[in-house]
Copies of this chain bind each other. A is one copy, B any other.
Amino acid sequence: MSDPEVFDVAIVGAGPAGLAAGLYTSRDRYSTLILEKNGLPGGQIMLTEHIENYPGWESVGGPELVQHMVNQVHSFGTSIRTGQPVTALRRRDDGVLEIEIEGGSSVYRSRAIILSPGSDYRQLGVPGETQMRQAGKVSYCATCDGAFYRDKHVLAVGGGNTAVQDAIFLATRFAKKTTLIHRRRQFRAQKILIEELYEKAGENNIEIKLPYVVERIVGDGEKATLDHVEIKNVETGDVESLHVDGVFIFVGMVPNTAFLKGFVATNELGYLECDTTALRTSVPGVFAAGDCRAAAPMQLATACGDGVTVAMMLKEYFRDPNWWAAGAAEAAGERGW
């Protein structure tokens, strides 16, 4: 019985990091398998209506940009297999890697793996949230979308470091007014950030309301307009309507790495541990790219950069498997990389 096909590279997750990696490995004529758990490639960026910070595209929608990336991968002969949730990974004694799909329906084999499953923003789970996200009125990233709210009124939601930092960022750089709500009486953020928040609140028109939660986000999905947000005081039960131009939800991120526990090392938040020079995980032949990895800057351009970095570093591993154990400078080779 002949051994089933062993791909040169298997990529787990077809968001921008995985597609960028697949573009390079396919163009370099490595046999490339791209697996995506969802029915469509693209990942989180598919939910982004309007992108103006991807270098080289003045303005583009998430799905349109993904389509270009998919076309590129296709043009070098690689197809993307959707609806393929990976449930188990193994490294055999001979170094071949095995990937099992849910239900045991398929087992794929490859010489190297690029893990690019991404991270998801944690959602509130309230009515209207998903619809208004698609309408571009609910955001989970101040750097990505703050610039769309210059001289507008925004609602920020959350109580951790990111929530407090990014509420200050929105208020001091863009918004005319920023309302910040949190479900508890006290913020969870570091003391120094809370002090900065209260110091800057007056001058920057930040209104802080505690303890409040979002009940509903109300708007017209078809017209892509937000009408108001219903917020509730959790102590008194009083509900009020807030008329804002946008909602920023800062309640955390969840890396999509649960299926990788026990296979590669993760940090306490679930992000994949790797060296930031060559993006090598704890398992030889297995790289990490994009928002799933520790220390990722979580931007579209940095995810693409990661994918390309891994595709370059992969060649060093194929040339010499002992390269995996090399230090950063050595790993990067003679050209400076």
Q: Which residues of A contact B (CB under 8 A)?
A: 16, 19-20, 23-24, 27-29, 52-58, 60, 65, 68-69, 71-72, 75-76, 119, 143, 146-147, 160-162, 165, 169, 173-174, 253, 255, 267, 269, 271, 275-277, 291, 293-299, 301-309, 312-313, 315, 319, 328-329, 331-337
Q: Is the CB of A58 within 8 A of B72?
A: yes
Given contacts A57-B72, A253-B336, 10 further A-B contacts (CB under 8 A): A27-B52, A52-B75, A55-B307, A56-B304, A255-B336, A271-B336, A277-B295, A295-B331, A295-B332, A301-B305
Q: From residue A182, how far is it (CB to closest CB) to chain B in Å?
A: 16
Smallest CB gap from A273: residue in B: B329
When chains A and B are docked, how far (Å) is the Cα of A331 from the Cα of B296? 11
- Contact between A55 and B19, CB atoms less than 8 A apart: yes
A53-B24, A173-B28 given; A312·B299 CB < 8 A: yes
Distance of A298 Cα from B143 Cα, bound (Å) = 26
Q: List 21 A-B contacts (CB under 8 A).
A: A24-B143, A27-B53, A28-B143, A28-B173, A29-B174, A52-B72, A53-B72, A56-B60, A57-B68, A58-B72, A119-B336, A162-B335, A253-B335, A267-B336, A275-B276, A294-B332, A297-B312, A301-B308, A302-B312, A305-B308, A305-B309
